[in-house]
Amino acid sequence: MPITTCIFDAYGTLFDVAAAARRAASEPDHACLADSWPALATAWRARQLQYTWLRAITGAHADFGQVTGEALDWALEAQGLAGDAGLRARLMALYRELDAYAEVPAMLEALKRAGKATAILSNGTPDMLADAVEAAGLGALLDDLLSVESVGIYKPHPSVYDLVGQRFGCDRSEVLFVSSNGWDAGAAAGYGFVSAWVNRANEPVDRLPWRPAHVLADLSGIPHLAEAIA
């Protein structure tokens, strides 16, 4: 079936998760990050994802804002920066206004011109997603922001992917699901979506029972891919 609906993960896919640490490091008040911000950003993201999986497995759900803060606390301590309340507050604020990748606006505009429905499906809370979309100026290009908070468990639980059909009334085969997380793209493929993995770092494919149907270096080819699938 042709693709009618294009669904995007948010963090790491549309929005650069390293942007918060990078921007903070450029500010005079946070020169302590000048050399360490890449390591901080990497550790922060890794712990953030690990904590979502652990909370999903154990049934101990907490929203993504809390998980993001807890992951940041771990990363700051690992970098010897625990206790810097001002730095923590600034990083958390910047996380709500992450930079969108450069190709995102034109890519979404092309999908809308082609008549595709577009939405985010994310671990983020509704208010976090709304802030990020507003900061990036993408609101007019997205039909909805779908959050795991409506089901109370993180990706890749199938109930999260169920939100797409519930919102758009489409068959799974009509959905092009796009994520920069290999595990997310793989799980979405197992769910029945046509999935595309945005592999910006040229990493190996995750060894999971399912693999994404398409692998791209960035998002610029998504409109062509959505039209080519029939």
DSSP assignment letter at 29: G
- Residue where the block lists tokens 């450069």: 102
Instruction: Find the Cα–Cα–Cα–Cα dihedral 213, 146, 98, 58, rounded to 10°.
Output: -80
Number of H helices and E strands in the chain, helices first, is: 9, 6
| Separation CA 229–CA 169 (nearest Å) | 19
Cα–Cα distances in angstroms (integers) from residue 33 to residues 41, 87, 134, in the given order:
10, 9, 27
| Separation CA 174–CA 90 (nearest Å) | 41
- Catalytic residue positions? 9
Q: Which of 17, 21, 13 is nearest to 78 (CA)?
A: 21
Question: Bridge partners of 119?
Answer: 7, 144
Starting at the edge strand found earlier in the chain, the sheet holding 194-198 runs: 144-147, 117-122, 5-8, 175-179, 194-198, 214-216
Q: Which of 100, 106, 168, 176 is nearest to 141 (CA)?
A: 106
